[in-house]
C-alpha cells in the first residue's frame, strides 16, 4: 500500500533474452512505476536532496530540460508534492510523452531551432537558463551536472543487478545524460571491479567524442557532453545506428516485448559486443514502448525517417557491424 506515486517501483524484474538472441543476456526492466521509466529514481533523488538542502521550497517552480522520460517523472513528483513544473523539451519528444506531461499538469515548452554546434539540447539548456535568470523562484535541478542523478543508481539500480547476478561478466548501459551509466559504473568499479561496464551510445552523439549528427529517437545520446560523465569508469563504448535500434525493437516486439527506443539501442549494442564472447551479461531497459507507437513502431514514420530499413527487420541481429572503442 502506498500514498504517493514515487513509492512504487519494480526493481527486480529481468527478462531472459537467451531464447530470443542466443546470448547469455538478461534485460533489467525499469519501466514498471508510475512514471514509466528509470528516470523516476533520479527525479526522486534530485528533488529530495534539493528539498533537504533548502534549495527547493514550497511555492517554487521546478524547471528541467528533458527529451521526455525525466520530464514525465518530474511531472509525477511535482503533481504529488504541489510544485509547478516547466519542462523544456524539443521537437523530437514523443507526442504521447508530451501529452502525458501536460495531463499531469506540467507546462511543456518545445524548442524547435538548434543552438549552433550544440544542437537542440544546447537550445533547451539556454532556454532553461533564461527562465531561471528571469525569476528567482525557478529552480533548475540540472540533470547534466547534478550528482544526485548518478547517486540514485549507485544506491539502487547497480546493487539490485549485483544481487541478482553475482557471476556477472559485463553490464551494458545506455548513454543519455549518463546518470544511470555513471551510477552503475562507479558502483561496480568500487565493489565488483571484475565486471566490465560497456556504454552504448547512438551514432551522432558527442558523449564519447566525434561530431554531432542527426538523431531522431529521444532518450539516448546527446549533442552536448554531460559534465557528470567521467570516461575512466567506462571500459568500452559501442555506437549504434538508429535503423539498427528500430530493427531490434521490432525483433523484440515479435516476441511480445514492447520496449522503448533506448532499450533497442542498448540491446543491439550488447549483441554486437557479445558476438563470439560467451559471457554472462545484463543490459538495462530504461522504459517500455507505449510512448514510441508514433515513431519506432509506426511503419510510415520509420520509412519516412530512415528509408526501407524494415525490409530486413528479421535479420540475425547477433551479426551487426559496430565499432567498439576502448576508453
User: Could you tell me the pLDDT band of residue 311, with boundaries at 50, 70 and 90?
Assistant: confident
Say how far apart CA 86 and CA 243 lie, in whole Å. 32
Express each pLDDT in 15-66 by its tens digit: 999 999 999 999 999 999 999 999 999 999 999 999 999 999 999 999 999 9
CA distance 35 to 234: 28
| 8 Å CB contact between 280 and 251 | no
Predicted confidence (pLDDT) per residue in 133-168, tens digit: 999 999 999 999 999 999 999 999 999 999 999 999
Is the pLDDT at 194 greater than 50? The verdict is yes
Q: Any idea where the domains of the chain sit in the sequence?
A: 5-36+147-326, 39-140
The strand pair at 324-326 and 281-285 is best described as unpaired
Task: Quote the crossing angle between the two packed helices 39-52 and 147-155, to the nearest 10°.
Answer: 120
Per CATH, the architecture of 39-140 is what? 3-Layer(aba) Sandwich (3.40)
Q: Tens of pLDDT along 247-256?
A: 999 999 999 9
**Residue 123 CA: distances (Å) to CA of 109, 146, 210:** 12, 19, 20
Give the mean pLDDT of 98-102.
96
Fold matches, 5-36+147-326 and 39-140: yes
CATH number assigned to the domain with residue range 5-36+147-326, chosen from the 4 options 3.40.50.300, 1.10.238.10, 3.40.50.1100, 3.100.10.20: 3.40.50.1100
* Pick from 172-176, 287-291, 316-320: least confident: 316-320
**Strand 236-240 with 196-202, pairing:** parallel
Which pLDDT score is estimated for 92?
Answer: 87
Amino acid at each position: 500500500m502506498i500514498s504517493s506515486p514515487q513509492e512504487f517501483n519494480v526493481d527486480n524484474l529481468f527478462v531472459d533474452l537467451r531464447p530470443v538472441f542466443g546470448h547469455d543476456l538478461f534485460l533489467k526492466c525499469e519501466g514498471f512505476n508510475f512514471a514509466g521509466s528509470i528516470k523516476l529514481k533520479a527525479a526522486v533523488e534530485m528533488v529530495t536532496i534539493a528539498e533537504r538542502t533548502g534549495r527547493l521550497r514550497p511555492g517554487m517552480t521546478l524547471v528541467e530540460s528533458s527529451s521526455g522520460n525525466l520530464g514525465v517523472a518530474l511531472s509525477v513528483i511535482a503533481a504529488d508534492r504541489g510544485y509547478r513544473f516547466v519542462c523544456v523539451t524539443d521537437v523530437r519528444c514523443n507526442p504521447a510523452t508530451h501529452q502525458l506531461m501536460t495531463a499531469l499538469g506540467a507546462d511543456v515548452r518545445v524548442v524547435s531551432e538548434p543552438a549552433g554546434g550544440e544542437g537542440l539540447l544546447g537550445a533547451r539548456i539556454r532556454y532553461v537558463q533564461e527562465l531561471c535568470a528571469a525569476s528567482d523562484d525557478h529552480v533548475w535541478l540540472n540533470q547534466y551536472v547534478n550528482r544526485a542523478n548518478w547517486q540514485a543508481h549507485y544506491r539502487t539500480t547497480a546493487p539490485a543487478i549485483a544481487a541478482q547476478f553475482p557471476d556477472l561478466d559485463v553490464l551494458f548501459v545506455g548513454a543519455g545524460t549518463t546518470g544511470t551509466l555513471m551510477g552503475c559504473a562507479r558502483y561496480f568499479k568500487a565493489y565488483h571491479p571484475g565486471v566490465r561496464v560497456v556504454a552504448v551510445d547512438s551514432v551522432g552523439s558527442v558523449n564519447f567524442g566525434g561530431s554531432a549528427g542527426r538523431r531522431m529517437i529521444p532518450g539516448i545520446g546527446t549533442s552536448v557532453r554531460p559534465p557528470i560523465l567521467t570516461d575512466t569508469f567506462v571500459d568500452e563504448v559501442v555506437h549504434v545506428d538508429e535503423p539498427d535500434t528500430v530493427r531490434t525493437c521490432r525483433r523484440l516486439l515479435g516476441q511480445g516485448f514492447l520496449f522503448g527506443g533506448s532499450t533497442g539501442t542498448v540491446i543491439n549494442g550488447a549483441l554486437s559486443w557479445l558476438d563470439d564472447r560467451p559471457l554472462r551479461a545484463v543490459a538495462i531497459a530504461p522504459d517500455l514502448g507505449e510512448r514510441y507507437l508514433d515513431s519506432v513502431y509506426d511503419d510510415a514514420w520509420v520509412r519516412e525517417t530512415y528509408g526501407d530499413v524494415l525490409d530486413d527487420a528479421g535479420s540475425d541481429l547477433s551479426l551487426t557491424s559496430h565499432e567498439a572503442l576502448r576508453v
